[in-house]
Chains A and B, each alone.
Chain A
């Protein structure tokens, strides 16, 4: 085992800020939705909007960072080993079997993570941001002269925003649980805080290959 620097400073900053913003947006969002009352409707709306703009700024920086560093390649989906990974979560994990896909600084994500995170990045986040922006800037097509978006009612926008929100809550719960499925219960969490994680060394992989 060897300590590897796996999550860089910006990456950790991005992850935790995004985590906080998503949690906060969910909380204020469901208050605006009418699910409960904490800040009060007016305050919840204001905070939700501030958090939404912050998240958009963060995402713009994150996109730039992903392309500037080439880290975007981490999310290229692959079907290779995906069955092994599923089998690991269904059976292997209980018997303390080793992780089927080796984690390295160049390939941090297992095939399931790749799929789910890519889904977040190209489906769920764009859905939330698009519907969110429409929610903010949607106007009844009152003025014949101006730019006219022929959306007659807020309900469609609101419904898709709500669907996305429920999916994000489901993701967050699963994500929080799956943190504990690293080498040890806390190794994933520690890695995302410190940036360092104990990973198997190259040599072991060679051994693995031989045993196959």
Chain B
């Protein structure tokens, strides 16, 4: 028996040594490496628009460019006119409300409140020409602004306060000949500047991304993924992937990290397990507004103060407006730690006419918790605002803010809340009591951009810690390291103390008796 074992060992051991010395394990690229390889090929346009005779002419009006586009790309206009970028509405099922058409056209937010009555200014960011009132004709395809998204010359720019029309001195021929796949600045022109200034709204989308390094955003960084927005936000029939749950309601057409990275991208199983209930963003966006400041608080009730009868502005060191007569007091912050909430892919929204049931008024709610199917913990920026409401009907109001002229009721021209609210409410056909007050509101912005390099992602102990856990607001789940049953802990400690006490008493008694005995023997 021993002989056989010995023989086997003699043959096996050298074989093992040879194997270990000469056979290297086959190299298997990681999921991330495969992903990086697949992204090395950048898409190139197959056509050169500057060679087309149709575009080699002088365009009088921007609409002439659009008509020329449609003359070749026929029916694309119909696609565009079905999108939310054009309609400023999406028809969606909202829990407890049924099918609702909601979008920038009719929603309320806690930045500039609503576009109603101020379309001429706000709609600079509409992908159309001339959307200056609620009576805009959404069926006229020549008013589609193809260039705002497809200009690749970098020369195209929309005019201020002109309802989406471009500046008049532009070289439309050159711009039209440059068209192609949207670049970051096509999207960023509006999406980085929403809410009236760079990074004002999102906190994770801003102009610094044009030149950012990997520490700011691994995907968009020139020394990182070098992505364009549309590399991830792909489109089918002009319907672009990705939702924004300040207006979206349903769990559809979402763009997820998992689409590229899979649901289990980590080498360690225990980290992969977290993805059941923790969104990628939670650990990988540990901080936002990394370069420029974003608005976090806005007090409209302070608006309207004048100096020598004229409106005035106060800037902070970074050049952001912290007081404007038009807008009131605004707080800007950078390098922010997100707040964390449950999110299951759906949201409900405060709609005009809803009565206020809770303060702060939640303008969008995710209605999720640990137990909800598909719910995960997500990082959010919470925008907090004090904005006008009607204390008699107990609902938020829509003041008219902008107009080109004084005397039309616009708050930014006349600085009269009562008049502005009266005009605004008549415009949206909602009754108003004639009284106004100010109420606190909240809005939740999911953070998806400014993903940090993996070395900077959250560590276990950022959440799994007794005090100051990042997830202190998530209290419907047992988190090891953070949570415990005080009752069990105290009883357990009491039990241990009791045993120690018993040992000390019993041992002490033994020692005392031993000494007595020795003394006794000594006496003898």
Contact = CB atoms under 8 A, between A and B. Distances in A.
A86 interface: no
A17 B515 CA distance: 37
B26 interface: no
Contact of B477 (A139, A154, A166): A154
A139 B482 CA distance: 19
A155 interface: yes
Contacts of A155: 478, 483, 485
Contacts of A96: 513, 517
B480 interface: yes
Interface residues of B, number: 40
B503 A139 contact: no
A152 B465 CA distance: 22
A167 B276 CA distance: 33
A171 to B, nearest CB: 8
B492 A32 contact: no
A101 to B, nearest CB: 19
A152 B371 contact: yes
Contact of A177 (B477, B481, B495, B503): B503
B499 interface: yes
A174 B499 contact: yes
Nearest to A46: B270
Interface string B488-511: 110111011011101100110110
A153 interface: yes
Nearest to B268: A46
A170 B513 CA distance: 26
A41 interface: yes
A174 B517 CA distance: 25
Nearest to A164: B492
A16 interface: no
Interface in A153-171: 153-155, 158-159, 162-163, 165-167, 169-170
Interface string A62-76: 000000000000000
B262 to A, nearest CB: 16
Contact of B460 (A45, A169, A177): A45
A80 interface: no
Contacts of A154: 477-478, 480
Interface string A85-107: 00001000111100000000000
A42 B500 contact: no
Given A40-B461, A170-B499, A139 B276 contact: yes
A140 B276 contact: yes
A79 interface: no
A161 B483 CA distance: 13
A156 to B, nearest CB: 9
A169 to B, nearest CB: 6
A94 B270 contact: no
Contact of B464 (A41, A49, A165, A173): A41
Contact of A166 (B270, B496, B510): B496
Of the listed residues A34, A49, A94, A153, the one surrounded by the most CB atoms of chain B closer than 10 A to its CB is A34
A50 to B, nearest CB: 12
Contacts of B460: 41-42, 45
B480 A159 contact: no
Contact of A41 (B373, B478, B481): B481
A180 B517 CA distance: 18
Contact of A173 (B374, B480, B484, B499): B499
A145 interface: no
Nearest to B494: A166
B164 to A, nearest CB: 45
B238 interface: no
Contact of B481 (A34, A153, A162, A167): A34
Nearest to B481: A34
A142 interface: yes
B461 A42 contact: yes
A33 B481 contact: yes
B519 to A, nearest CB: 14
A140 B277 contact: yes
Contact of B270 (A45, A93, A173): A45
B484 A34 contact: yes
A162 B485 contact: yes
A152 B373 CA distance: 12
Contact of A94 (B495, B498, B513): B513
Contact of B488 (A34, A94, A152, A166): A166
24 contacts: A32-B481, A34-B480, A41-B461, A41-B464, A42-B460, A93-B510, A94-B513, A140-B277, A153-B370, A154-B478, A154-B480, A155-B478, A158-B483, A159-B485, A162-B485, A162-B488, A166-B492, A166-B493, A167-B495, A170-B495, A170-B496, A174-B502, A177-B503, A180-B507
Q: Which 8 A-B pairs have the closest CB atoms?
A: A166-B492, A155-B478, A154-B478, A94-B513, A42-B460, A34-B466, A177-B503, A41-B461
Given A32-B464, A34-B482, A180-B507, 9 more contacts: A33-B480, A42-B459, A45-B270, A93-B510, A158-B478, A166-B493, A170-B499, A173-B500, A177-B507
Interface of B: 270, 273, 276-277, 370-371, 373-374, 459-461, 464-466, 477-478, 480-485, 488-489, 491-493, 495-496, 498-500, 502-503, 506-507, 509-510, 513, 517
